[in-house]
Amino acid sequence: MENFLLLGICFGLGLLFRRLPQFPENTPKVLNGFILFISLPSLVLYHVHELKINVSAIMPTSMPWLVFGFALVFFLILYKLKIMSFPTTVCLVLTAGLGNTSFVGFPLLETYLGKESLGYGILADQLGTFMVLSFPGIILASIAMDGKWDIITLVKRVLGFAPIYALVFAIVTRQIVYPDSLKIVLLRLGDTLTPLALVSVGFMLDLRTIAGHGKYLLLGLGFKLVFAPILVYYVYRPIQNDQLLFQTILLESAMAPMVTSTVITIEKNISPHLASLMLGIGIPLSFLTTYCLNFLIKGNFI
């Protein structure tokens, strides 16, 4: 409950700050910079270092790659059909193709399936969602920002993504035990990600822009909250005998758009108003859709 309360307060603060003269227009840019260079690397350093990896990790970590790949194909087809522009396409791939598998995902998993599901949830988030964002996600965002495919520029963009260095460092030092004091610092710095990101998105959120983005918003949220879980259900149905694993993967696929991918989309000016709408409307809407999905799961309808 406190996570949902935090979400509402931070969105509200963002909307309020937008109207106060003390907060200039570049407020989201400053907040996003702190998130990408401090908050997210801190979380990566802690969670990837502490992650326990085994054979069962394959299934939950593969789901975000599948959803992202399907989103890429789906929205690129719509782009080729001239239904949307390339920036809009990339915006929807990054927001509808990546899920909020941690901040919203973890508390919802614990509520619906119990603490036992969190191990699978962490694997889906850290080795799935974050890896997708760090490599194909950043590459796609860079292409949209630069307007061309240039391998040298793409490499520079990926290497300029600070969490990549945190990821490499966390993997290299997995055999080294972090001091408890360092773990506490990393966790506290990482805890700033969600509040700052939600304030930033709230600051950017302008519901008046729905009129110009309504069709794309419906496509994006329809894909993320409805079509993606249907796809995942049919792909992973062979493992449904492992009930907890199957249900965790299915629910994680149905989560709202990812906060960090939305921040990056806004930061790189790739249809930023649409991105903020995807997150701002997607998160509260996902509470309803995941509740319905959980009801179907528990009622053995699927």
Residue 272 has pLDDT above 80, yes or no: yes
* Summary mean pLDDT of the chain: 86
Q: How buried is 118 (Cβ within 10 angstroms: 0-12 exposed, 13-18 middle, 19+ buried)? A: middle
CB atoms within 10 A of CB 86: 15
Q: To the nearest 10°, report the CA torsion of 104, 105, 109, 110.
A: -50
Residue 83 has pLDDT above 90, yes or no: yes
Residue 24 has pLDDT above 80, yes or no: yes
pTM of the predicted model, to two decimals? Answer: 0.78
pLDDT, mean of residues 160-168: 79
pLDDT band, residue 300 (cuts 50/70/90): low
pLDDT band, residue 55 (cuts 50/70/90): low
| Distance (Å, whole) CA 123 – CA 245 | 11
Written as one letter, the residue type at 133 is L
| Distance (Å, whole) CA 289 – CA 67 | 17
Residue 157 has pLDDT above 70, yes or no: no
pLDDT band, residue 148 (cuts 50/70/90): low
